[in-house]
């Protein structure tokens, strides 16, 4: 059928109707205003001092900061700090929680706090414990902390576990896994299980490597960037600088996102003053697929590449395996199936294919819109297939680039904090420990929650993060954590988890120094595989009783394991930890000399500029990708009377402009015109279909619970899809997970939306 006349049984993009409160560009003057407000405030001097400190930014994985000062990016360019980093630092510069605070506030009161209120209590400044049957957290001595913690870890190895979040250092991450593995456990759950695990799982199979193959230097050489399922204007603002520069050089940017994110259309960056008022154009082409349908869209792009004669057969034959089946799948999947599944027209898909197929060097970047689906790994495969069909892997200026989360989440994986340990690291650790590692499969984050729910976990150490707030089905998370005898939270700031994720016997909170306060040097790894060195620093909390993560972990390990198999207390000196890392972690050899040279470095074996990959054959492996089944449940499935007028939508749950994961800094989302947290952004057509109007209050009912009094906000999202914010929304849905990676389908949460007074 002719593409122009082909009917599409779907509403046709673009969906760009926005509400009256949405600004015309992302970024822009309000960013400068925010900088000015904070840097000129009473905390200003300390804020500046921290921004200039030689350490990596706390916030995202873009890797700004380090030895050449806080404003420098990985290619040495200056002026690269964004306001997200100011947000993160200023949260850490808050005063200490007062010593008498917990005597005055019962835990039941603290459980009523919102995420923002919890964060604003200040910094944790002394160790506390909540004992079974007690109503208040109380201060506890360090001696008692270590006695209780060490006893709690003397359990069967399968019944102890850790969870971690990616803000701590490589050294802390390395010690955490060494301690847990030395105890005979592999239960190293990590926030990456909820995040990029489908990327690491998929890329490992395709290229034999887990991470981005594109360095920042290489990104700058691209002439086309495909950015799928990533709201980088919010979450990786300095990637936007690169996109602006690429556009100025004539490169094309294809954005794939069911929501037309204003900052991906036009972005005003303080680094380019001329862009500030009007915004620089970002997207050359903006495709708005149905949430969860990216596989179909990429198969469509592949089909069109084949039809336009734009695939590189010589490259495929020389450097890949399995390509014939992938080509055959794209050929034999008909256009109607493709367009009906993804909701994007053949014309638009062909336009995308033409841009990709005629570009010299294409970088494919993605984030949570790709991974947080029941078919997240297939999504990753389909992107990698598209890169390979066009010869865009293993050359300069091209390749696959998962845009990672926390500032050191990738470092945690590299250090072995994972339930899928690389064989080389396992061998090296076994040599170091002088014994084989346990063969019992460890719990990733969802398995940990399920195991705890089934009463199979006694002790849990959380190195940062908010396990309660980050998981689906908040009530299940609470119940599961409540089955664990002892939970030890190691944290800088209070969050919902510390008050709602309580253990059966003892919940302990350990207050720690952050990245720019440690008395020793540490390192972190960016999403572009660059290792940063953080200098020693000082805390503003003069009278607080804080400990460094390194000191806490080494002392705990010493109490549990003595000097077996290493002298744990000696490892309080992070130089020794770096020596162990150099010996055991492939690609990290240069860290052994970093204390003498201060030389930050790119990890060996990660950046591919030749089509020789890390698989045994040196070739990339290609896998066919089944089309997803995306039917939504009928309204009756939500247990609401059939007569209730409502609409079933797929909610993409994620981040507002001013939050970092489960931590909310500001309640509104200025750029989407959402004035507070309890909003649902949806397409006007969907609302009207259900008899709803803008700003009306509705109930949003999922399969685990509901949120009431939610305000309807119209926005540029495709019909059938909607946007809500986590962690609040996590109360409404049960976990459906990607089976190969364990990652929950946070980006396709079916829910019924109906007027609050309708049922
Ligand atoms: N300021 C700030 N920075 C952060 C974070 C933060 O919370 N705040 N968090 C950090 C972490 S841990 C992470 S993982 C990253 C997250 O960074 P992102 O992945 O950019 O964050 P999300 O808010 O989850 O947004 C995902 C985007 O995917 C789109 N999307 C949803 N479903 C689909 C789909 O099916 N297909 C496609 N193509 N797109 C879809 C959504 O519309 C949204 O624009 O950011 C990191 N950086
Ligand atoms: N519905 C929904 N749920 C999601 C997601 C989604 O998109 N939608 N995204 C998922 C993703 S991608 C992720 S990564 C997870 C995030 O899950 P987590 O990483 O578990 O959560 P965070 O909110 O980042 O954790 C913040 C806390 O870390 C602690 N912290 C901060 N800095 C430090 C430090 O230097 N050291 C220590 N020890 N502690 C520190 C503070 O106590 C702070 O409150 O959430 C997941 N959950
Ligand atoms: S882009 Fe990310 S790493 Fe760079 S300054 Fe902003 S938050 Fe920090
Ligand atoms: Mo993440």
H or E segment at 706? strand 706-714
Integer Rg of the chain from CA: 25
pLDDT at 457 over 60: yes
- Residue whose token pair is 């086309």: 224
642: Cα within 13 Å, side-chain hemisphere? 2
| 254 bridge partner residues | 226, 285
pLDDT, one tens digit per residue, over 490-528 is 999 999 999 999 999 999 999 999 999 999 999 999 999
Q: Which pLDDT score is estimated for 4?
A: 44
User: pLDDT band for position 682 (50/70/90)?
Assistant: very high
| Residue listed under structure tokens 């841009």 | 355
Residue tagged 């962690």 (tokens): 727
Atom of ligand 1 nearest to the CA of 229: 39
pLDDT for residue 144 is more than 80: yes
Which letter, b or e, does each residue of 468-479 get, where b requires 16 or more Cβ atoms within 10 Å of its Cβ?
Answer: bbbbbbbebbbe
Host H or E run for residue 366: strand 362-366
Q: With a 6 A CB cut-off, is 206 part of the ligand 2 pocket?
A: no
User: Are 10 and 343 a contacting pair, CB within 8 Å?
Assistant: yes
64 lines ligand 3 (CB under 6 A): yes
Ligand 2 atom nearest to CA at 490: 38
Q: Are 126 and 142 in contact (CB under 8 A)?
A: no
Instruction: Return the SS3 of 510.
Output: strand
| CB proximity list for 708: less than 8 A, separation 6 or greater | 697, 699, 756
Q: Is it the case that residue 231 has pLDDT exceeding 60? A: yes
- pLDDT at residue 32, rounded to an integer: 85
* Bridge partners (DSSP) listed for residue 754: 646, 699
Q: Which residue's entry shows tokens 């053949």?
A: 346
86 lines ligand 1 (CB under 6 A): no
What tens digit of pLDDT does each residue of 356-408 get?
Answer: 999 999 999 999 999 999 999 999 999 999 999 999 999 999 999 999 999 99
So what's the pLDDT on residue 415? Answer: 98
The helix-helix angle for 44-52 and 83-92 (nearest 10°) equals: 120
Comparing C-alpha atoms, which of 288, 277, 380, 293 is closest to residue 337?
293
pLDDT score, position 3: 45
Ligand 2 pocket, mutate which of 55, 60, 162, 165 (most atoms under 8 A from CB): 165
Predicted local confidence at residue 357, as pLDDT:
98
Q: 683: Cβ below 6 Å to ligand 1?
A: no
Tell me what percent of the chain is helix, strand and coil, each rounded to the nearest 5: 35, 15, 45
Distance from the alpha carbon of residue 463 to the mean position of ligand 2, in angstroms: 11
Confidence band (pLDDT; 50, 70, 90) for 309? very high
Strand partners, 23: none
Q: What is the mean pLDDT of the chain?
A: 96
Bridge pairing between strands 459-463 and 486-491: parallel
597 exposure class (CB count in 10 Å sphere: 0-12, 13-18, 19+):
exposed
Q: What is the DSSP letter of 571?
A: G
What pLDDT is stored for residue 69 in this prediction? 84
Give the model confidence (pLDDT) of 619-670 as tens digits: 999 999 999 999 999 999 999 988 889 999 999 999 999 999 999 999 999 9
State whether the beta carbon of 60 lies less than 6 angstroms from ligand 3.
yes
Strand pairing of 620-621 and 601-602?
A: unpaired
Residue 8 pLDDT greater than 70, yes or no = no
Strand 721-725 versus strand 679-682 pairing type: antiparallel
DSSP string over 259-283: B--HHHHEEE-TTSGGGTTT-EE--
Ligand 2: which of 59, 92, 167, 444 to mutate, most ligand atoms within 8 Å of CB? 167
Q: How many CB atoms lie within 10 A of CB 627?
A: 19
Q: Which residues contact 613 (CB under 8 A, 6 or more apart)?
A: 206, 207, 208, 209, 319, 393, 394, 619, 620
For 10-63, write each residue's pLDDT tens digit. 777 889 888 999 999 999 888 888 888 888 888 889 999 999 999 999 999 999
Residue 192 CA to ligand 2 centre (angstroms): 10
Residues of the chain with pLDDT > 70, as a percent, come to: 99
| Ligand 2 atom nearest to CA at 118 | 44
- CB–CB of 622/550 below 8 Å? no
Higher pLDDT, 3 or 674: 674
Pocket test for ligand 3, best of 58, 68, 82, 233 (most atoms within 8 A of CB): 82
Distance CA 85, CA 71 (A): 10
Using the mean position of ligand 3's atoms as its centre, give its distance from the Cα of residue 62 in Å: 6
Strands (E), 17-69: 26-27
Confirm if 130 and 136 have CB atoms less than 8 A apart.
Answer: yes
Whole-number Å distance, alpha carbon 662 to ligand 2 midpoint, is: 6
Residue pLDDT, tens place only, 695-752 = 999 999 999 999 999 999 999 999 999 999 999 999 999 999 999 999 999 999 999 9
- Verify whether ligand 1 is closer than 6 Å to residue 406 (CB atom): yes
The answer to whether the CB of 725 is under 6 A from ligand 2 is no
What DSSP state is assigned to residue 730? G
pLDDT per position as a tens digit, 125-139: 999 999 999 999 999
Q: How confident is the model at residue 215 (pLDDT cuts 50, 70, 90)?
A: very high
Among protein residues, the one with the nearest Cα to ligand 2's atom 23 is: 662
Q: How far, in Å, is the centroid of ligand 3 from the Cα of 86?
A: 9
Residues with Cβ within 8 Å of 278's Cβ and at least 6 positions away in sequence, in order, are: 25, 266, 268
pLDDT at 5 over 50: no
CB of 59 closer than 6 angstroms to any ligand 3 atom: yes
Residue pLDDT, tens place only, 421-441: 999 999 999 999 999 999 999
How confident is residue 106, by pLDDT bands cut at 50, 70 and 90?
Answer: very high
Q: Nearest residue CA, atom 26 of ligand 2?
A: 465
3-class DSSP assignment, residue 87: helix
Sign of CA dihedral 727, 731, 732, 734: positive
What's the pLDDT score for residue 2?
A: 44
């Amino acid at each position: 059928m002719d593409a122009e006349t082909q009917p599409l049984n779907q509403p046709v993009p673009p969906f760009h109707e926005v509400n009256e409160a949405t600004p015309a560009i992302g970024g822009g003057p309000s960013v400068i205003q925010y900088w000015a407000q904070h840097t000129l405030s009473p905390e200003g001097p300390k804020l500046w001092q921290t921004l200039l400190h030689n350490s990596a930014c706390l916030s995202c994985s873009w890797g700004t900061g380090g030895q050449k000062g806080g404003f420098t990016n990985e290619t040495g360019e200056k002026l690269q700090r964004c306001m997200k980093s100011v947000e993160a630092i200023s949260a850490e510069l808050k005063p200490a929680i007062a010593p008498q605070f917990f005597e005055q506030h019962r835990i039941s009161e603290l459980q009523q706090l919102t995420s923002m209120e919890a964060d604003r209590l200040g910094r944790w400044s002394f160790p506390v414990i909540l004992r079974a049957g007690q109503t208040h957290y109380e201060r506890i001595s360090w001696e008692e902390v270590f006695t209780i913690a060490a006893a709690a870890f003397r359990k069967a190895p399968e019944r102890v576990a850790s969870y971690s979040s990616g803000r701590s250092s490589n050294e802390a991450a390395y010690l955490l896994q060494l301690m847990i593995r030395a105890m005979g456990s592999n239960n190293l759950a990590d926030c990456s299980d909820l995040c990029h695990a489908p990327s690491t799982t998929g890329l490992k199979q395709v290229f034999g490597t887990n991470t981005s193959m594109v360095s920042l230097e290489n990104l700058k050489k691209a002439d086309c960037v495909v950015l799928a399922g990533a709201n980088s204007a919010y979450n990786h603002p300095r990637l936007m600088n690169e996109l602006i520069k690429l556009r100025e050089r004539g490169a094309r940017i294809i954005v794939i996102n069911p929501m037309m994110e204003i900052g991906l259309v036009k972005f005003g960056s303080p680094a380019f003053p001329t862009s500030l008022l009007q915004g620089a154009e970002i997207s050359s082409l903006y495709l708005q697929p149905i949430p969860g349908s990216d596989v179909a869209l990429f198969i469509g792009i592949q089909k069109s590449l084949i039809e336009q004669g734009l695939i590189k057969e010589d490259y495929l034959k020389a450097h890949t395996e399995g390509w014939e089946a992938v080509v055959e799948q794209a050929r034999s999947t008909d256009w109607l199936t493709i367009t009906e599944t993804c909701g994007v027209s053949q014309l638009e898909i062909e336009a995308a294919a033409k841009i990709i197929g005629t570009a010299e060097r294409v970088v494919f970047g993605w984030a949570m819109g790709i991974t947080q689906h029941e078919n997240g790994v297939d999504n990753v495969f389909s992107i990698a297939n598209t890169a390979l069909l066009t010869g865009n892997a293993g050359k300069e200026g091209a390749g696959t680039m998962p845009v990672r989360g926390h500032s050191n989440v990738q470092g945690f994986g590299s250090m072995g904090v994972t339930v899928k340990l690389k064989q080389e690291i396992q061998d090296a650790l076994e040599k170091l420990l002088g014994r084989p590692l346990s063969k019992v499969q460890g719990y990733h984050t969802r398995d940990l929650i399920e195991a705890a729910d089934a009463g199979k976990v006694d002790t849990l150490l959380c190195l940062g993060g908010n396990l309660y707030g980050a998981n689906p089905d908040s009530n299940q998370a609470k119940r599961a954590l409540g089955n664990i005898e002892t939970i030890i939270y190691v944290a800088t700031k209070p969050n919902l988890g510390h008050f709602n994720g309580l253990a059966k016997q003892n919940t302990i909170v350990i207050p720690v120094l952050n990245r720019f306060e440690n008395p020793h040097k540490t390192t972190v790894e960016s999403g572009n595989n660059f290792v940063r060195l953080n200098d020693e620093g000082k805390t503003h909390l003069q009278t607080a009783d804080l400990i460094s993560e390194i000191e806490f972990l080494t002392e705990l390990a010493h109490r549990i394991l003595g000097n077996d198999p290493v002298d744990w207390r000696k490892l309080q000196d992070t130089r020794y930890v770096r020596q162990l890392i150099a010996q055991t972690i492939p690609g990290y050899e240069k860290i052994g000399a970093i204390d003498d040279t201060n030389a930050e470095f790119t990890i060996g074996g990660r950046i591919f500029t030749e089509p020789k990959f890390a698989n045994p054959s040196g070739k990339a492996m290609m896998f066919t990708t089944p089309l997803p089944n995306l039917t939504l449940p009928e309204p009756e499935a939500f247990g609401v009377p059939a007569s209730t007028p409502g609409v079933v939508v797929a909610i993409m749950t994620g981040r507002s402009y001013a939050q970092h994961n489960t931590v909310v800094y500001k309640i509104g989302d200025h750029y989407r015109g959402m004035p507070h947290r309890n909003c649902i952004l949806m397409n006007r057509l969907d609302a009207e279909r259900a008899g709803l109007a803008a700003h009306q209050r509705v109930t949003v009912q999922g399969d685990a619970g509901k949120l009431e009094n939610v305000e309807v906000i119209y926005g540029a999202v495709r019909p059938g899809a909607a946007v809500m914010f986590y962690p609040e929304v996590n109360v409404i849905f049960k976990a459906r997970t990607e089976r190969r990676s364990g990652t929950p389908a946070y980006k396709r949460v079916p829910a019924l939306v109906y007027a609050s007074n309708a049922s």
